[in-house]
A and B are shown apart, each in its own frame.
Chain A
Amino acid sequence: MKKMSVLITVILAFCALLFLGSRQLSRQSGATSSANTLSLYNWGDYIDPALIKKFERETGYHVQYETFDSNEAMFTKIKQGGTAYDLTIPSDYMIEKMKKANLLLPIDHRQLSNYHYLDSHFLNQSFDRGNRYSVPYFWGTLGIIYNDKFVKADEMQHWSDLWQPKWRDQLMLVDSARDILGMALVEQGHSMNTTNSKTLIAAQQKLNQLSGNVKAIVADEIKTYMIQEEAPLAVTWSGEASEMLDQNSHLHYVVPSEGSNAWYDNMVIPKTAKHKKAAYAFINFMLDPHDAAQNAEYVGYATPNKKAMTYLPAKIRNDQQFYPPLSTIKHLQVYQDLGASKVEEYNDLFLKFKMYRQ
């Protein structure tokens, strides 16, 4: 009994110590909410930390940085309220959803002196016509990653190449209904935003034929597996791809020229914003070509900033894996919010495909 109470006392004392310590640390870093703060809600590791320092130095705002790992988690947190984020960076379909849920503030372009540096190809997209609520941050694609030890470049240029019987049990797919069904839809020459049930079922049957080639349907783990050469082929997003290519020089990324998905992560100001001025200052800062280039070099995603491209090293700028030629860009499609019942139809078909075994 005595031993027990000593143990409990020690644990409680330890907790108190940790609590005081963490409070002291956060006070030192000045994380108190004041007029001079910018509360930034971003994906993990999605900005060069040096840029945050630079922004703080140049503008005097203090940046409070919090991260999320999925659009849905971010949406729920902002919708439930109780937060005071001034700026967040959702993806395309989520911007449409947040717009419909009245969670976004319109953006006054006159306050953004660097707005004209953006490439017009990446503006005025279907999810936000006229960019009334969002400003592009990064963009990317869906494509195929292959390992040149096992796959030759000319064998893997189009979606249809994945269906070759040669690749039995060699392919990893990203666990996402929209992307994988979308891939089958493009392969059959349809839109990635198809709502026609017959076309969707046909796409699922096409996927079933791929089933024998599929080794696994996984999420973030694809990165590790491809780097370790567990599989020679995978379908995933360019952002993930750029991280893999950094760590294994045998890996290459292809965006099939017949079409694929283009995704956008755009900066938005949510309704919860308390420091709008700081938010505008930050958006404008990130649109500055030098800063955008530095950020693109650090994160490894493609920048939509035309002027920033000229500041990027030629090796990155001319990399067709991540900055595909205009002929390919023309065929890229952006996902539209299809509504709950269609999203479910996509997911049910995807589930059927997952259960299908050849």
Chain B
Amino acid sequence: MKQSKRFFMIPYFIWIGLFVIAPLVLILYQSLTNTQHQFTLQNYATYGTSTTYLHMSLNSLWYAFLITAITLLISYPAAYFLSKLKHQQLWLLLIILPTWINLLLKAYAFIGLLSRTGSVNQFLTFVGIGPQQLLFSDASFLLVATYIEIPFMILPIYNAIVELNPALINASRDLGATNWQTFRRVIFPLTISGVKAGVQAVFIPSLSLFMLTRLIGGNRVITLGTAIEEHFMTTMNWGMGSTIGVVLIVMMFIIMALTNDRRKKRREVNDDEEN
């Protein structure tokens, strides 16, 4: 029995080895070489001492934070009301639907909407505000990034809310808690796992959104993704590009650790109780 179990694990290990471990090792290896293929720590020194790269990392973190915060603010209430609706499956489908469309197509659609002669500006002219510069601004970048990430935040939160036992809410009300208290003390803590999963699913990809920074941000929004693209496509300095890649991976691990930790502890506690 155990033998056959191990046998069926082989494709899984091959997959993980080839497509997860090997690329990570290659990136790490590349980051430790210079353009002459010599072993060096120079790339990391360059990264650490360059105000450009540090500033860019700060930018990446800041924009990723903003995108995550805005999506969370919209998604939590949305997921909550969604769980109260009648035709939930239909509404869910409508939320998932945009994720089936290619990211690039969505970006181009937004260019059409936000451009000087686009529908949004036509509307603004119609109501008498007059055309505004919408494209190539921080606001438009945040808007489009948020739009793209929202389904990934709503789904885990929705799942967490649906799993919530309604008896707990009733109990809280019976015991005299106000709506706000019920939310703060019962609903939110019990759905925090969904929020954390959503934050992971949104924050991590937001760190390196590079297509949007160019198409919507007009390269006036610069994040680490831009630098990686430049090093791989233009300067052909794969070492430096990989170094920034490693920095991004480290950032992601930090986010994972921050958002995973407590949930694990709680699960252990739960396990103990059940045992």
Interface residues, chain A, with chain B CB atoms under 8 Å away: 72, 169, 172, 175, 177, 214-219, 221, 225, 228-230, 340-341, 343-344, 347-348, 351-352, 354-355, 357
Question: How far is the CB of B155 from the nearest CB of chain A, in Å?
Answer: 24
The residues of A that contact B106 with a CB separation of less than 8 Å are: none
The residues of A that contact B3 with a CB separation of less than 8 Å are: none
Whether the pair B214, A355 counts as a contact (CB closer than 8 A) is no
A229 to B115, CA, bound (A): 9
A345 to B157, CA, bound (A): 46
Whether the pair A347, B218 counts as a contact (CB closer than 8 A) is no
What's the A-B contact tally at a CB cutoff of 8 Å?
69
Residues A217 and B234 in contact in the complex (CB < 8 Å), given A230-B135, A340-B35, A355-B52: no
12 pairs of residues in contact across A and B, judged by CB atoms under 8 Å: A175-B219, A215-B133, A215-B136, A217-B218, A218-B214, A218-B215, A218-B219, A228-B115, A228-B116, A351-B52, A351-B226, A352-B52
Question: How far is the CB of A214 from the nearest CB of chain B, in Å?
Answer: 8
**Contacts A230-B135, A351-B230 given; 9 further ones with Cβ under 8 A?**
A217-B214, A221-B215, A229-B116, A229-B117, A344-B237, A344-B240, A351-B52, A351-B226, A355-B59
Whether the pair B117, A169 counts as a contact (CB closer than 8 A) is no
The 8 closest A-B pairs by CB, nearest first: A216-B218, A217-B219, A216-B136, A344-B235, A230-B116, A347-B235, A355-B222, A230-B115
Interface residues, chain B, with chain A CB atoms under 8 Å away: 35, 52, 55-56, 59, 111, 115-117, 133, 135-136, 214-215, 218-220, 222, 226-227, 230, 233-237, 240
Residue of A nearest to B233 (CB): A72
A167 to B128, CA, bound (A): 25
A1 to B233, CA, bound (A): 46
Question: How far is the CB of B56 from the nearest CB of chain A, in Å?
Answer: 7
The residues of B that contact A72 with a CB separation of less than 8 Å are: 233-234, 236
Residue of B nearest to A221 (CB): B215
Question: How far is the CB of B243 from the nearest CB of chain A, in Å?
Answer: 13
Whether the pair B235, A169 counts as a contact (CB closer than 8 A) is no
A309 to B210, CA, bound (A): 44
Question: How far is the CB of A196 from the nearest CB of chain B, in Å?
Answer: 19
In-complex Cβ contact of B235 among A172, A229, A340, A354 (8 A): A340
Residues A347 and B230 in contact in the complex (CB < 8 Å), given A217-B218, A228-B116, A357-B220: yes
A26 to B211, CA, bound (A): 35
The residues of B that contact A175 with a CB separation of less than 8 Å are: 214, 219
In-complex Cβ contact of A351 among B115, B215, B227 (8 A): B227
Question: How far is the CB of B137 from the nearest CB of chain A, in Å?
Answer: 10
The residues of B that contact A343 with a CB separation of less than 8 Å are: 234-236
Whether the pair A217, B230 counts as a contact (CB closer than 8 A) is no
The residues of A that contact B233 with a CB separation of less than 8 Å are: 72
A175 to B240, CA, bound (A): 20
The residues of A that contact B59 with a CB separation of less than 8 Å are: 355
Question: How far is the CB of B215 from the nearest CB of chain A, in Å?
Answer: 7
The residues of B that contact A354 with a CB separation of less than 8 Å are: 219-220, 222, 226
Residue of B nearest to A70 (CB): B233
The residues of B that contact A348 with a CB separation of less than 8 Å are: 52
Residue of B nearest to A217 (CB): B219
The residues of B that contact A215 with a CB separation of less than 8 Å are: 133, 136, 218
The residues of A that contact B236 with a CB separation of less than 8 Å are: 72, 340, 343
Name the residue in A169, A348, A352, A357 with the highest tally of chain B Cβ atoms < 10 Å from its Cβ. A348
Question: How far is the CB of A291 from the nearest CB of chain B, in Å?
Answer: 35
Question: How far is the CB of B10 from the nearest CB of chain A, in Å?
Answer: 24
Question: How far is the CB of B249 from the nearest CB of chain A, in Å?
Answer: 21
Question: How far is the CB of B232 from the nearest CB of chain A, in Å?
Answer: 10
Question: How far is the CB of A263 from the nearest CB of chain B, in Å?
Answer: 16
Question: How far is the CB of B48 from the nearest CB of chain A, in Å?
Answer: 15
A252 to B60, CA, bound (A): 38
The residues of A that contact B56 with a CB separation of less than 8 Å are: 355
The residues of B that contact A229 with a CB separation of less than 8 Å are: 116-117
Residue of B nearest to A346 (CB): B235
The residues of B that contact A217 with a CB separation of less than 8 Å are: 214, 218-220
Question: How far is the CB of B133 from the nearest CB of chain A, in Å?
Answer: 7
The residues of A that contact B35 with a CB separation of less than 8 Å are: 340-341
Residue of A nearest to B51 (CB): A352
A121 to B34, CA, bound (A): 40
The residues of A that contact B214 with a CB separation of less than 8 Å are: 175, 217-219
The residues of B that contact A172 with a CB separation of less than 8 Å are: 218
The residues of A that contact B117 with a CB separation of less than 8 Å are: 228-230
A175 to B211, CA, bound (A): 13
Residue of B nearest to A349 (CB): B52
Residue of B nearest to A231 (CB): B116
A115 to B31, CA, bound (A): 48
A301 to B235, CA, bound (A): 28
Name the residue in B52, B59, B117, B136 with the highest tally of chain A Cβ atoms < 10 Å from its Cβ. B136
Question: How far is the CB of B201 from the nearest CB of chain A, in Å?
Answer: 28
Question: How far is the CB of A135 from the nearest CB of chain B, in Å?
Answer: 27
In-complex Cβ contact of B133 among A169, A347, A352 (8 A): A169
